[in-house]
Amino acid sequence: MNREGFQQTYGIIGKSPEMQEIVDVVQQVAPTDITVLISGESGTGKEIIAKAIHGASKRSQHALVPVNCGAIPEGLIESELFGHEKGAFTSAADMRRGYFEIADGGTIFLDEIGEMPLSTQVKLLRVLESGEYIRVGSSVARSTDARVIAATNKLLEYEVQQKHFRPDLYYRLRSVNIYLPPLRNRKEDIPSLVERFVKEISEKNKIQFGGFTDNATELLMSYSWPGNIRELRNTVESMLVLESGKRIDGYDVRKYLREQPSVLTERNLPVVSNKTVEQAERELIYRALVDLKSNIIEMKELLTGQLSGANDSQINHTQPHKGNGILTMDEMERRMISGSLDRNKGNRRLAAKELNISERTLYRKIKDFGLQ
Ligand SMILES: Nc1ncnc2c1ncn2[C@@H]1O[C@H](COP(=O)(O)OP(=O)(O)OP(=O)(O)O)[C@@H](O)[C@H]1O
Ligand SMILES: [Mg+2]
């Protein structure tokens, strides 16, 4: 199949050199059993690429089993992945098959692999090397023929340095590393993505689309899209629904952007192609710094609000501060989490993404802070 046909089959939009190179690699690796690591910021299309690899493989008639390593509590992850025997632990009333067993003959998609606990990483390495695993509570090794695709929006090399990720597993995983550059570095893909989303959303919701002014298109092209393609899609959807039928201009677009253009310049990186992993890593570091900066700004705002609004009833709640007007770290954290949950209407997955912590960590903190 040629590249265009392939992209059409799997709904992968984009003709930028970066996207073309990615699609070529996907087409080359799909028919093999090679383990693939897909990295890139949130919303860049890691899942869509994983689906294409599975769909174009000889395993496509079998299951593609997605596992979000960041959402499973640490104590349960091994029994979820490898299964358990009856009575293996208190709540194990019955034997349960694990995802590796279910994915036999197919593909297992280990999303957010950077969140996998170290003790489980050893076991994953064993499956990758020998195809063998052991159910929790058993001593019998079983084998599986599951192809592994892993994804991460973390900088795994950094996780290795921090001793959160095993180097041997990292090297094993990155033999084929598909890096998806952020949308701001392949802006030429924006118009075709917008066109596709407009078509899909207006057909699905039976909405009349009145078109974009040049100004609106320019703004969509110059915005940095920190949430990448997911954010672009959501923005187009909101605009189509709420501005239904009218010609959308720059002013309208601006209302739907998460950040105002003054912040954009900071995120507007020079265009980097996906030539080397080092470049990719540099970008992820840059991104982490930008996130860190915005966290600091948010903390400063919280503190300023605290100091200037001592009578603000909003600030009066349990365990407020140390009596000197300064919030404790715990309290600041609690507020950031509660604010993020409010902004995301209680959606924990979105809140975890916004806070750049794993869902598991968020669950724990919600519990610790009694936020539910
Ligand atoms: N190249 C693309 N063409 C068309 N749609 C895309 C493309 N890339 C991503 N999308 C769409 O953007 C959304 C986000 O993509 P996806 O879920 O694959 O991102 P992700 O990298 O897995 O994000 P996360 O790290 O947050 O899980 C989905 O709706 C997906 O269909
Ligand atoms: Mg994903």
Domains of the chain: 3-181 (3.40.50.300), 184-267 (1.10.8.60), 296-368 (no CATH)
Edge to edge, what strands does the sheet with 64-68 contain? 64-68, 107-111, 147-152, 36-40, 177-180
* pLDDT value of residue 371: 84
Residue of 66, 90, 67, 92 lying closest to 77 (CA atoms): 67
Q: How far is the CA of 122 from the centre of ligand 1 (A)?
A: 30
Tokens of 37: 């690591």
Tell me the C-alpha distance between 39 and 307, whole Å.
41
Q: What is the pLDDT of residues 109-125, one digit of tens each?
A: 999 999 999 999 999 99
What integer pLDDT is reported at residue 356 of this predicted model? Answer: 83
Residue 303 burial (CB count, 10 A): 14
Nearest ligand by distance to the CA of 45: 1
Report the pLDDT averaged over residues 254-273.
Answer: 54
Residue corresponding to tokens 């990615």: 22
Chain length of the chain: 372
What whole-number percentage of the chain has pLDDT above 90? 62
pLDDT band at 311 (very low <50, low <70, confident <90, very high): very low
Test site for ligand 1: of 153, 193, 229, most ligand atoms within 8 A of the Cβ? 229
pLDDT mean across residues, the chain: 86
- The residue to mutate among 12, 15, 36, 48, having the most atoms of ligand 1 within 8 angstroms of its beta carbon, is 48
CA of 44, closest atom in ligand 1:
21
Atom from ligand 1 closest to the CA of residue 13: 3
Are the C-beta atoms of residues 184 and 269 closer than 8 Å to each other?
yes
Q: Which pairs from 94-101 meet CB under 8 Å and 24+ separation?
A: 95/135, 98/133, 98/135, 99/65, 99/67, 100/127, 100/133, 100/144, 100/146, 101/142, 101/144
325: DSSP letter: S
- pLDDT of 145 above 50: yes
- Tell me what percent of the residues of the chain surpass a pLDDT of 70: 84
Q: What is the pLDDT of residue 345?
A: 84
Q: For position 317, what pLDDT does the model report?
A: 41
Question: Which of 5, 16, 8 minimizes the C-alpha distance to 274?
Answer: 16
Quick check: CB of 194 below 6 Å from ligand 1? Answer: no
Query: Is-contact 338 302, C-beta < 8 A?
Result: no
pLDDT at 263 over 60: no
Tell whether the model's pLDDT for residue 273 goes beyond 50.
no
Least distant ligand from the CA of 230 = 1
Say yes or no to pLDDT of 275 above 60.
Answer: no
Can you read off the two tokens belonging to residue 348?
A: 């924990």
> Mean pLDDT, to the nearest integer, of 78-100?
91
> Which pLDDT band holds residue 305 (cuts at 50, 70, 90)?
low
Asked whether the predicted pLDDT for residue 294 surpasses 90, the reply is no
Q: How far apart are the first and last CA of the chain?
A: 51
Which segment, 191-200, 279-288, 298-307, 327-336, is predicted with the most confidence on average? 191-200
Per-residue pLDDT at 9 exceeds 50: yes
Residue 287 reports pLDDT greater than 70: no
**Pairing mode, if any, of strands 147-152 and 107-111?**
parallel
Q: How many helices (H) and strands (E) does the chain have?
A: 17, 7
Chain segment 332-352, per-residue pLDDT in tens: 888 889 888 988 888 888 888
Confidence of residue 97 (pLDDT cuts 50, 70, 90): very high
Ligand 1 atom with the shortest distance to the CA of 111: 27
DSSP three-state, residue 208: coil
Reported pTM: 0.75
Cβ–Cβ < 8 Å for 249, 215: yes
Encoded tokens for 349: 């997955």
Distance 236 CA to ligand 1 centre (A): 14
Tell me: the pLDDT tens digits for 151-195? 999 999 999 999 999 999 999 999 899 999 999 999 999 999 999
